[in-house]
């Protein structure tokens, strides 16, 4: 799945988001591109789980279509 996080602006943000994803699924593959504000996640969990976790971490994610 691919998410857009417009308020992710730096490496610290990427670290916080990665931790939020890993808290849901420790085995998830996470690829973050801060420049394009894109988070790619490979996991068996649904997007809703990760959207909620990233929101709870203080960011505003949206699913990319």
Domain locations along the chain: 2-63
What number is the average pLDDT over the span 12-16? 98
* Whole-number percent of the chain with pLDDT over 90: 97
What number is the average pLDDT over the span 29-36? 98
What number is the average pLDDT over the span 24-53? 97
As its CATH architecture, domain 2-63 has 2-Layer Sandwich (3.30)
64: confidence class by pLDDT, cuts 50, 70, 90: confident
pLDDT of residue 65: 67
Q: Where are the beta strands (DSSP E) in 8-58?
A: 29-33, 38-42
Task: Give the distance from CA 24 to its chain's centroid.
Answer: 11
Q: Is the pTM of this model over 0.85?
A: yes
């Amino acid at each position: 799945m691919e998410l857009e996080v417009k308020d992710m602006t730096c490496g610290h943000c990427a670290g916080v988001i990665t931790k939020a994803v890993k808290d849901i699924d420790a085995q998830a593959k996470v690829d973050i591109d801060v420049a394009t504000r894109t988070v790619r996640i490979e996991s068996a969990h649904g997007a809703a789980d990760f959207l909620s976790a990233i929101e709870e971490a203080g960011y505003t994610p949206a699913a990319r279509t």
